Amino acid sequence: MRILTILILFYLCSIETNAQLLSKNDDFTRADSLRGTLSPERDWFDVTYYDLNIKVDPDRKFIEGYNDIYFTVVRSEKRMQLDLFENMRITEIEFEGEALTYKREFNAVFIDFPNELAMGKQFKLRFSYSGNPIVAKRPPWDGGFDWKKDIEGNHFIGVACQGLGASAWWPNKDHLSDESDSTRISVAVPSNLMCVSNGNLRGTEEEGEYTRYNWFTSYPINNYNVTVNIANYTHFDDFHVSGKDTLALDYYVLPHNLDKAKKQFEQVKPMLRCYETYFGPYPFWDDGFALVETPYLGMEHQSAIAYGNQYKIGYSGMDFSRIGLDFDYIIIHEAGHEYWGNSVSCGDIADLWIHEGFCTYSEAVYVECLHDYETAQAYVNAKKSSISNNSPIVGPCCVNQEGNGDMYSKGMLLLNTLRHVIANDEVWWSLLYGMAEEHKTKIIDAQTVIQYFNDRSGMDLTPIFNQYLYHSRIPMLEYKLKEKGSKVILQYRWRSDVDDFTMPAQFTLDGENWATIQPTTKWEKRTIKKASTEKFEFNSEQYYINLKRVID
């Protein structure tokens, strides 16, 4: 139900996108616009509740059922756009006892009501469907259903659809700007299997050779986080104590991995304590925290995190860090998304850096909890080599296009840079905590982030954000050095794409003591007495920048 606060934003965004679509440099299609734009057929209603009821036939890789969509009218209208991939069959769309007419265009479904619906009132529409959903080729990166079997020959099934879209397997308003207040996911599976979904299990029902599992999440949830996991699971539980309250921890794993899971998942409670310290209480407390073993690597499915790291340390057993990685990357990263992405969410996939950049930074926060500041800085800087800086990390609005994959590591390095620009850890940690708490279960955009950082820091950080978010290159600090007797003459300026760019920088002449300067895009000079250039160095560890010495 988060649509109301951002309707104006997306109206303006739609105007801008139309201009983009006319650009010679863009090749977006009508299908992209239908998916990515909050169009007049989408912005007049606010989804309040999804009641998804399906049956899954693993042998046929087939699903069928319906979604009851509850919505409130915010502007009187009679044509609605919902979304379901064109390879899926529509059985019927029913409203108040009558079948509605509809038209399909690519993956969009345009539904016509007989009359305009009254503003302010709530209605229910039933969308019945069936079909074989897209099979994922390389989940979670190439989305869809992952139909696998475990070592005992039992079905082992998961779904990951971030980017691809939830409408690949169930009908909904597939736009990040509108999340239901709560959602029920009712799934019937063969009785030798279990279905695990989001939130809490409210009960099961026998349906012949099938068992129906009724799950309910009581918080807003973005559509790509709605999930089904189907396997011969075994379950164990635990709890996390916070103050006078306890958080339920549930784990669903394949039986032969039970002992490994009990040992590996011991990492959860110290991680939750760390995140709680810096980001606030776990945001989906009433729904509990869960890890669910999946046939693919992992995904941040809200309150039912997909775990497929095979109980290894690092990233599928690999260590990309400079610290000697000693934790399970998938647990730490995907749980970070419960705060950044699932709770604090973007309204357009163009701003997905908010999910990925902040979440990747949460890894560094965990390292600092686990070890210390110096180790966390080493972890942050180890990611530099993975960044291409060949296109912006913010994508074009309203065409379902995310920015460069640099958003993970570059987003983390941007935040680490801002920490040192602010240069006050008390302010920094209160800013992050406030960001997570004040925007809990809300939808925001880049400008909201920038304004919040400006307000809480008391600094104008806009030029810094603009350079790192909307341009490919990171800022280049050009400098000249000259020794003149016992003096050092230092000249410096920023080379950037942002005209008014300014950001502090630090240098040392002895390798120990650091001095701070505030370069702009114009050459400035500083004379340092009783100094030499022998150990001169700029700080490029706490600041993610390029350096270039200019020789006259």
CATH number at residue 454: 1.10.390.10
Mean pLDDT (whole number) for 368-372:
97
Q: Which pLDDT does position 532 carry in this prediction?
A: 87
Confidence of residue 320 (pLDDT cuts 50, 70, 90): confident
Tokens at residue 132, please? Answer: 């074989």
263, 345: one domain: no
366, 218: one domain: no
Q: Which pLDDT does position 45 carry in this prediction?
A: 98
153, 49: one domain: yes
Digit-coded pLDDT (tens) for 420-474:
999 999 999 999 999 999 999 999 999 999 999 999 999 999 999 999 999 999 9
**What's the CATH number where 160 sits?**
2.60.40.1730
Mean pLDDT (whole number) for 62-76:
98
Q: Which pLDDT does position 6 carry in this prediction?
A: 40
Listed range (147-161, 367-381, 520-534) with the worst mean pLDDT: 520-534
Q: Which pLDDT does position 552 carry in this prediction?
A: 81
Which of 338, 358, 385 is a domain's end point?
Answer: 338
Q: Are 223 and 166 in contact (CB under 8 A)?
A: yes
Listed range (103-112, 174-183, 312-321) with the worst mean pLDDT: 312-321
Q: Which pLDDT does position 1 carry in this prediction?
A: 55
492, 443: one domain: no
Q: Are 99 and 149 in contact (CB under 8 A)?
A: no
Number of domains forming the structure of the chain: 3
Which of 419, 453, 470 is a domain's end point?
Answer: 470
Say if residue 57's pLDDT is above 50.
yes
354, 443: one domain: yes
> Where is pLDDT greater, at 349 or 511?
349
The conformational region for residue 314 under phi > 0 = left, psi -120 to 50 = alpha, else beta, is left
| Structural domain boundaries enclosing 190 | 2-338
DSSP labels for 87-142?
A: TSEEEEEEETTEEPEEEEETTEEEEE-SSPPPTT-EEEEEEEEEE-PPBPSBTTTB
412, 453: one domain: yes
Alpha-carbon span 446 to 352, nearest angstrom: 9
Digit-coded pLDDT (tens) for 519-539:
999 999 999 988 888 889 999
210, 322: one domain: yes
Confidence of residue 26 (pLDDT cuts 50, 70, 90): low
Mean pLDDT (whole number) for 195-219:
98
234, 86: one domain: yes
127, 164: one domain: yes
- Would the pTM count as exceeding 0.85? yes
Which of 455, 470, 485 is a domain's end point?
Answer: 470
**What's the CATH number where 507 sits?**
2.60.40
Q: Which pLDDT does position 21 carry in this prediction?
A: 26
Mean pLDDT (whole number) for 54-63:
98
Average per-residue pLDDT for the chain: 94
325, 352: one domain: no
**Number of other residues whose CB lies within 10 A of the CB of residue 80:** 23
Confidence of residue 20 (pLDDT cuts 50, 70, 90): very low
